[in-house]
Amino acid sequence: MLFIKKASALFGSSVAAAAALLIGDPSAASAAENTHFVPEATTIKWNGTTATVTFLEVAVELDANVTTISTRVTAEVDAVCTNDESTLTIHRTASSLRANDYLISFDGTVPGTAKVPLRVQGLNVSGYTCVVEHIAMTAELEDFWTGATLTHKA
């Protein structure tokens, strides 16, 4: 019986802690409303194996000096492959996700660079000469602690 009381007390405090995290402090919620990524400061570069995303998050007000940001990068590639009179049109897509901790500057900004491994398979066909015609890149940023998000297309 003592075990059940302790377990229910522990469970109750866990539920209360989870509710506090979900509900949060109203002043923290208003500060988080101003937190955002700056679209003009976001870039995506890709060398075929690694995508490099630079970004800037502003108005970050957390008790900690770091925040956790996930970066999902998607590459959509169109290629044309030819072999004499035969032509193949290929469209391939690949995505990769990384999450890292970033330091919050004294002025409430988070300048960052995410390096995300990303390869698109199936762009070479045996016996054909393939040429990439179009590449579309998308980066999706999400700060786990502030809730700020940004989808950037290049």
Largest CA distance in the chain: 82
> Which among 60, 35, 55 has a CA at the least distance from the CA of 115?
55
Note whether residue 21 is domain-resident.
no
Note whether residue 54 is domain-resident.
yes
Parent domain of 57: 35-153
Note whether residue 17 is domain-resident.
no
What is the pLDDT, as a whole number, of residue 33?
A: 74
Note whether residue 69 is domain-resident.
yes
Instruction: Kindly report, residue by residue over 84-131, the tens digit of the pLDDT.
Output: 999 999 999 999 999 999 999 999 999 999 999 999 999 999 999 999
What is the pLDDT, as a whole number, of residue 69?
A: 98
Domain count for the chain, please give it: 1
Alpha-carbon distance 8 to 42, whole Å?
Answer: 48
Instruction: Kindly report, residue by residue over 43-78, the tens digit of the pLDDT.
Output: 999 999 999 999 999 999 999 999 999 999 999 999
Note whether residue 134 is domain-resident.
yes
Look at residue 25 and tell me whether its pLDDT is greater than 70. no
